[in-house]
Amino acid sequence: MWVLVLVIPGQAVAADKRVSIGYIATYTPWMAGIASGIYESTTGYDIQWREYGSGIEALAALSRGEIQLSQIGITPVAGAVSSGMDLELFWVVADIDRSEALVVRRDSRIVKPQDLRNKRLAAPVGSTAHFHLLFALEQFGIPKDAVEIVNMSPAEIGEAWKEGRIDGAYIWEPTQSDLLRTGKVLIHSGDLGTWGRSTFDAFVARPEWSARNPRFMVAFVKAIADLDESYKKNRRLWGRASAHL
């Protein structure tokens, strides 16, 4: 028995022009394009946006093929590549600088770095925040076993902070601002960067997918670059717009 399969070209093209992109919620200009739909309009692709709590979660999704691209911190990328994962880094989003910091409770009696001994600190393990927490302890001469480091996602850090289960956390925005209502910054990634260990956020892709979709990659990067340029030229306007979000 013969079965006739009808292939409609228009449907095939539409199916090919779909992509899933991961991201971690951060305050960077490129994210404004998600809400405005600029990436869909400039690339012509149907984009499914997937938010992750940490770079480790995004990497797992990339390895399973659930997403083809993702914004991610450089530390988990370095770990993944060193373990043999095939990734293509194609765009540096931003120097992390002050957007990640070690925040401690005001009632924790932590005034100086040496006060961190015997304290309970949280960070998403494997992230840029975790990397800088370990680097900071090293610079302060504090052995890792002198501090209890707990692996928590940003959401878990927020809950643990409210319940008083942690003395501090190395974390990014927007969780960082939530903690600062009752906490203070002991050190931020901008300081640690000047000591020789800078961190940054970047976009990575599965190489086999980017090779098959070069026009999308070019259009996507151009759209990100245009938003970056708009922010640089109109920071006051961007500031007023973000105040109403």
- Output the pLDDT for position 11: 41
Determine the Cα–Cα distance for residues 53 and 42; give it in Å rounded to an integer. 27
Arithmetic mean of pLDDT over the chain = 88
Grade residue 3 by pLDDT with cuts at 50, 70 and 90.
very low
Determine the Cα–Cα distance for residues 173 and 179; give it in Å rounded to an integer. 10
Whether 77 contacts 89, CB under 8 Å? yes
Determine the Cα–Cα distance for residues 63 and 52; give it in Å rounded to an integer. 14
Grade residue 174 by pLDDT with cuts at 50, 70 and 90.
confident
Of the candidates 7, 89, 18, 93, the residue with the CA atom closest to the CA atom of residue 48? 18
- Output the pLDDT for position 196: 82
**pLDDT at position 179 over 50:** yes
Tell which CATH classification among 3.40.190.10, 3.40.50.1820, 1.10.3210.10, 3.40.50.920 matches the domain 9-95+200-243: 3.40.190.10
Helices 128-139 and 74-82, axial angle in degrees (round to 10): 100
- Output the pLDDT for position 14: 52
Determine the Cα–Cα distance for residues 61 and 124; give it in Å rounded to an integer. 17
CATH code of domain 98-194: 3.40.190.10
pTM metric for this prediction: 0.75
**pLDDT at position 10 over 70:** no
Determine the Cα–Cα distance for residues 177 and 199; give it in Å rounded to an integer. 20
**pLDDT at position 227 over 90:** yes
Determine the Cα–Cα distance for residues 188 and 197; give it in Å rounded to an integer. 12
Grade residue 242 by pLDDT with cuts at 50, 70 and 90.
very low
pLDDT, mean of residues 193-213: 91
- Output the pLDDT for position 236: 62
Q: How close are the terminal C-alpha atoms of the chain, in Å? A: 60
What is the domain partition of the chain in residue ranges? Answer: 9-95+200-243, 98-194
**pLDDT at position 98 over 90:** no
Task: Give DSSP secondary structure letters for the chain.
Answer: --------HHHHHHHHSEEEEEE-----GGGHHHHHTHHHHHH--EEEEEE-SSHHHHHHHHHHTS-SEEEEEHHHHHHHHHTT---EEEEEEEE-GGGEEEEEEGGGT--SGGGGTT-EEEE-TTSHHHHHHHHHHHHTT--GGGSEEEE--HHHHHHHHHTT--SEEEEETTHHHHHTTTEEEEEEHHHHHHTT---EEEEEE-HHHHHH-HHHHHHHHHHHHHHHHHHHH-HHHHHHHHHT-
Grade residue 33 by pLDDT with cuts at 50, 70 and 90.
very high
Residue, of 199 and 44, whose pLDDT is higher: 44
Tell me whether domains 9-95+200-243 and 98-194 share a fold: yes
**pLDDT at position 73 over 70:** yes
Residue, of 224 and 243, whose pLDDT is higher: 224
In Å, how far are 77, 104, 106, 137, 236 from 121, measured between CA atoms? 23, 9, 14, 11, 36
**pLDDT at position 18 over 90:** yes
